[in-house]
Amino acid sequence: MSDLRRRIFGVGSTDSTPASSREPSPAPPRKDDGPSEYKVVPAAQLNKLTKSKRTGGGLKRRNAWMFGLGGLFGVLIAVLLASPNGSMDKLVELAGLQDMSLDSLFDVLPAGMIKDVQNLQSQEKKLVDYDSFSVGLHARSQGIEAKHPVIMIPGVISTGLESWGTEEQSRQYFRKRLWGSWSMMRALVLDKASWKRHIMLDKATGLDPPGIKLRAAQGFDAADFFITGYWIWNKILENLATIGYDPTNAFTAAYDWRLNYMNLEIRDQYFTRLKNYIELANKVSGLKPVLLSHSMGSQVLYYFLHWVEAEGYGGGGPSWVNDHVEAWINISGCMLGALKDLPAVLSGEMKDTAQLNAFAVYGLERFLSRQERADIFRAMPGMSSMLPIGGDEVWGNSTWAPDDKPGQNITFGNFLKFRKPDTNLTEDPGNLTVSQALPYLWDHTDDWYSDAVRHAYSQGVAHTRKEVEANQKIPRHWVNPLESRLPLAPDMKIYCFYGVGKPTERAYFYREEVDSQNRTMAAIDTTITNANLSIDHGVVMGEGDGTVNLLSTGYMCNRGWKIPRYNPANISVKVHEMRHEPDRFSPRGGPNTGDHVDILGRSSLNDLILRIAGGRGEMVEEVVYSDIREYAGKVKIYDEDEA
């Protein structure tokens, strides 16, 4: 079998060695740097991989083995969907495959077909895995090695959820992932009703429904891949390992992102465990850990920084963060929420669903309707922590928004733009700002949802130091950086890394309609498209990383935490924006992507993380490409002295 692996997949050949990243390190060059065996790969080489000339004979051979592999794929699908009653054994017996080994199978394949498979696999490996470990190898060659313990807090939906229920309805799923695996796909397709019962929290308690028990997967496996082949944190783990990290000095603090933050502690003791992990890492290494957070994980960590010091909660006292945390690396943090969260819970929609073609929309609605999707999102109250924060002061009003461009015909401040209602309706909601859209959401959702969200979170602005200090004792304000402050930790450092230059949802055209039960329903008006106004199927596009708007990722880092009442200890905050410059032929954008999720595999981001974890944070340079500082200056939140 080892000989077979070498023949087919080239194990042990030069093809199995990953190429270096083509993006140079963003850190200033060291004067004593000598020649390195690790080199950047030019874009031309990456493009060359996709331009291999195909001859007529080669094309025929590819068609032949594709046909054969198609049949093999069909057998694999049958394996996936086979029931446990022995039908798979019958299928194998029927096909006469029970005595066939892989060696005998490949012995009868033409040598040319094997060679084509090997060449294709080699090219795909170079294209997809060009940057595996190479950033870590480059950093190691420059003397960067593991120093501070590293603790990672993943983002929303990226942590796998597995079933631990032992009731009859759950036994078939025991220790299988019902979120973040192919088991999820299978359960969703074959038993949608059961999957929904497991994944949706109880409406009354916000905890597990009776007889159901889902828990966050733990360890590095919790968030390295979403499903097989779709990495999330894996590239960061690869590069951390290359400079000396392993489970003894690195840890993934996975959590059940469906729960509201208070219930994370009530049910799972999540914040207590996170506090213990940090204290243990500090005690064992003698060094303060570096905390990495991504997306919603940055909100979770910001909440933790309040919880851990608050009397009656973490009880660490006002100096705990300063004594235990070296740095916070905030990656694509949605500090002021994600605008797309509101249409998701209002009507089960977002850009990803609105821009589907008619055939895809029909299939999606038949399988998982808008109302079903909205119900699922509402039954995950942790996600509602990302409802937009800051109101009209941040997001604008009916005539103006801080990120409006000169000559822009429609303002971003009108967040939900309703067209004239159907004749069956008596009221026209008109155009709603963010501050007006939230009450509209409460009015058009069940009381259990609106009450739960308003009890758990707050989306306002505290304009005085007195308000901010009072909010330090009220947990519902701890997720909002405009109503609470950073800890008194002058020795801690904050690094904000986020992508820019990718069109991102900023506002929506909506319509109201009456359903068969005479209920007023809201939906994105997908009939409205205007390329000149950046309107695509009812979604108005602005600036950001493709998921989170620029004002959310960038305002606090560039302006908000420069206001003394939000950062009284004057913690150092350094910003490094990353342009979205995707590779044309890479499905995940390649080493220069700025996409919200794919940025975790970006070469320069990984390089910066390694330098900070390795105690060389001073090498991180401030880089701002966008107009965020201009926008931030227009936001109607001021220092008390300025006011």
**Sequence-separated (6 or more) residues with CB below 8 Å from residue 274:** 151, 153, 253, 304, 308
**Catalytic one among 295, 435, 603, 604?**
295
Q: Tokens 């090997």, residue?
A: 118
**Sequence-separated (6 or more) residues with CB below 8 Å from residue 185:** 227
Token readout for 108 is 């009868």
Taking the C-alpha atoms of residue 643 and residue 640, their distance in angstroms, rounded to an integer, is: 5
Q: Are strands 504-514 and 539-542 parallel, antiparallel or unpaired?
A: antiparallel
The CB density around residue 426, as the number of other CB atoms within 10 Å, is 7
Taking the C-alpha atoms of residue 129 and residue 569, their distance in angstroms, rounded to an integer, is: 43
Q: Tokens 């304009």, residue?
A: 463
Query: Does the annotation mark 191 as catalytic?
Result: no
498: enclosing H helix or E strand:
strand 493-500
**Catalytic one among 131, 341, 525, 545?**
545
383, 341 in Cβ contact below 8 A? yes
Q: Tokens 């402050």, residue?
A: 485
C-alpha dihedral sign at 161, 549, 150, 260: negative
Q: Tokens 């009653």, residue?
A: 85
Q: Are strands 327-331 and 290-294 parallel, antiparallel or unpaired?
A: parallel
62, 112 in Cβ contact below 8 A? no
560, 639 in Cβ contact below 8 A? no
Helix (H/G/I), strand (E/B), else coil: 174: strand
Query: For the chain, how are helix, strand and coil distributed in percent, rounded to 5?
Result: 40, 15, 45
| DSSP tag of 545 | B
Q: What is the dihedral of CA 120, 599, 307, 551, to 10 degrees?
A: -150
Q: Tokens 């973490």, residue?
A: 314
Token readout for 33 is 């740097």
Q: Are strands 493-500 and 572-579 parallel, antiparallel or unpaired?
A: parallel
Instruction: Say which amino acid occupies 605.
Output: L
C-alpha dihedral sign at 179, 183, 184, 187: negative
Taking the C-alpha atoms of residue 224 and residue 231, their distance in angstroms, rounded to an integer, is: 6
Order of strands across the sheet that contains 214-216: 177-179, 161-163, 214-216
Query: Does the annotation mark 2 as catalytic?
Result: no
For residue 97, the Cα-to-chain-centroid distance in whole angstroms is 43
CA triplet 82, 88, 89: central angle to 5 degrees? Answer: 160
Backbone angles phi, psi at 493, to 5 degrees: -120, 140
Nearest alpha carbon to residue 374 among 347, 401, 355, 356: 347
367, 335 in Cβ contact below 8 A? no
Enzyme catalytic residues: 295, 545, 596
